[in-house]
Every structure is written in structure tokens, then in C-alpha cells.
Amino acid sequence: MTTRSVLLVIGGGVAAYKALELARELRRRGIGVTGVLTRGGAEFITPLSVGSLTGAKCYTELFDLTDEAAMGHIELSRSAGLVLIAPATANILAKAATGLADDLASTLLLATDKRVLYAPAMNVRMWEHPAVKRNVETLQADGALFVGPEKGEMACGEFGYGRLAEPAAIADAAEDALRGEGGALSGRHVVVTAGPTHEPLDPVRYVANRSSGKQGYAIARACRQLGARVTLVAGPTALPDPRGIETVHVETARQMLAASEAALPADAFVACAAVADYRPAYETEHKVKKERGGLTAIDLTENPDVLASIARHASRRPALVIGFAAETDDVLGHAEAKRARKGCDWIVANDVSPGTGTMGGDRNAVTLITGEGDEAWEDLPKSEVSRRLAERIAGALGPAPG
């Protein structure tokens, strides 16, 4: 295993089934996973299901002659870049906080020299119990990381904090933990725009597009994982704010430009948002009724150009300005022309034709255009596109001064 890998310890509880989805999500992001299934966890899922989704042997027993001879629990505890416990039950938290080691999972937690991330899941009354609070405080003081739990309805029917965080949120936290300190973008500030803009027609209706914001959010996370301070300027999306990232929410193109300028100075600016080129020239104070003529015609006026404005900023232009070109035909030709027209350094071109599934989907096939040549990347998860782009940004900027 490598440093970009996780030892996934699966505790007992109904939430154990979500660990399978978590394993799939981690692997989708290019993170290797090895599973450790506790006896409680095995009451809900099987070693075979864990091994099938991780692509690696699932470990279950401390006193297993074959496993100890082949790898050993000490080596296993240090084989990955991160130990992740999901779900982390009250029992596991208590063992870890008190140094108890009576099974494979608890022994690994004592033997590891890697960072440990807990994703708790339990009944709300258990989570609020003073003993559990003490154990969490002890583990945090020892340097452990936590993600969740979230608030919601429990399997037992009660409501409150205790639900396992969603797999995507846990995977985000795992990536943050794997990044650690001293990343290639440490000391750098990166501003990323994401999502659509909504241009109001009246208090109810607006002009918009199909952007989900997934690619921009993934780029923000990837830059953060390399150590950058990231400001995310986000149009209206259904995505949660990424952990450890300053997120500024806007609705219109004018608000996005103002927020982007306010975030300067920055070392890099990544304009991933799908900004509306035009907005209604007039916004009515009341909802337009079709009985009174309705919206049979809309006068439009041009929006400010966020990418061009930052690329041509008189005093605080970032060293690296990157735009996105979402096209449906002659993708590379339009993207090359856009790079020259906007005055940016790089353009990331992608085909958003119907049928590609790019807008709103989880994958993207892009070409990075830098002026020194075109670099086509195969169809990849948006998280992998983001990781590659963040690494290219780090390479172009180099180490931060000082």
C-alpha cells in the first residue's frame, strides 16, 4: 500500500453497510483501501463484500496464524497513510481512549503511527452520554480527527445527532487527512469559482444553466489537499460547503465578480463556474402573471465577464489564471479562441454535449490548453481531473516564497 491509501476499520452497527459505499467512494477517488471488519461489523456485512469492493483481503482476526505470518498486525497498522474507523461505535471509541487492545481493530489503533480519523455512529443518547464525550475529548487531545456524526432520524426511530456522516463527506475528510501538512501548494492562496449563476427575472423566476458545481468544488478540495488556502466562490448548488475551505455564496454574475475581486490577492484563480453571459435587463418587483401578458419577450443585457476581469486586473492579477470552456462543438477551436480573448493563462476544455453526462455528472474528459501545447486527459472522475489540475497548478507556481 502507499501513503494515498486507507486502512478502513468497520465497526458494528446498522451504519456498517454504509462502509461499503464509502469504500467504493474512496477507490473512485484513487485511494487504496484495505478493510478490517470487527466482530460487530460482521453481524451486518461480510468479509467477502468488503474484499470485493476494496479489491484487497479483508482482515478480521487478531490471532490468525496465516495473517500474522503473511503480514502481522503491526505491519498492517502502518501499511496505509490513514486509519479510518467508520462507523466508529461507542465501544471502539472507549477502547481507543483507554488503550484497550482485545481484538484486531483496537490493537491496530494502538500500534499505528499514522493519523486516525473517526466517523462516529450511534444512538443519540449514547452520543450525548458523558462517558462518550470524555472519550471523544481524550482522543481529540491525542490528535485524532473526527467527521460527524450528523443530525437525523436513527434506525431505532429516535432523532438527533448520531447518524454516520455521508460517505462523500467522510471521503472528503479522509483526503484532507491524507494531505497532511507541507503540501505542494502550502503557503499559496487559490480562488475557485463554481456552479451556475441565477439571474432573476422576477421574485420567482431566473435565468440559469445546468451546472452542478461538482467540478469546481472538487478543484477547491484538491487544492486544499495540497496545502493551499482556498476561497471558493460558489453560485447556487445543492452541494455542502467543503471542509476547511472558505466558501462565499453568491447568486448572480455581478455578485460572483465582486466576491472574486474581494478574495484577491491570490496566487491562482480557477474560473470553473458556468457564469450566465446575459441577464434580464429589468427585474420586476412582483411576479409576472401570464394573465397580464406574461413573459412573451425578455430584454437581455450582457453580464460582466468574471474570467476576463480577473485576468486583466490592473493591480492584483493572480500569477496563474485558469478558465474553463464548456463547449458542444469544435471544442478545442472555441477553447483556444477563448483563452486568447479572455487573457487567461490556461483553459480547460470539455465537451458538454447532450449524452456526455458532463454537466451534473461525476466524470469529465478534458483537454488542458496552456499555450505550450494541448494535453488531453482521458475520461476520469471529476475528483481525479481536479487532483491532476491541482498538481499542475502547484508545478507552475513552484514553492511559496519564504
Q: Is 120 annotated among the ligand-binding residues? A: no
304 labelled as ligand-binding?
yes
Burial zone of 372 (CB within 10 Å; 0-12 exposed, 13-18 middle, 19+ buried): exposed
| Catalytic option among 58, 156, 272, 344 | 156
Sign of the torsion formed by the C-alpha atoms of 122, 125, 126 and 129: positive
Helices then strands, each counted (H, E), the chain: 14, 21
Can 58 be counted among the known catalytic residues?
A: no
Closest CA to 103 of 51, 60, 141, 72: 60
Dist. CA 260–CA 342, nearest whole Å? 16
342 is in an annotated binding site: yes
Q: Do 205 and 295 touch, CB atoms closer than 8 A?
A: yes
Annotated binding residue at 305? Answer: yes
CA distances from 388 to 215, 226, 319, 381 (A): 12, 11, 19, 11
Q: What are phi and psi of 150, to 5 degrees?
A: -105, 165
Cell of 329: 462543438
Q: Is 351 one of the annotated binding-site residues?
A: no
Q: How far apart are CA 179 and CA 24, in angstroms?
A: 20
Q: At what angle do helices 16-28 and 167-179 cross, to 10 degrees?
A: 50
Task: Compute and round to an integer the Cα radius of gyration of the chain.
Answer: 24
Q: Is 338 a known ligand-binding residue?
A: yes
Please answer whether residues 45 and 19 qualify as being in contact, where contact means their C-beta atoms are separated by less than 8 angstroms. yes
Tell me if 37 is assigned to a ligand binding site: no
Enumerate the active-site residues. Answer: 156
- Provide the annotated binding site: 277, 287, 304-307, 324, 338, 342
- Provide the annotated binding site for CTP: 277, 287, 304-307, 324, 338, 342
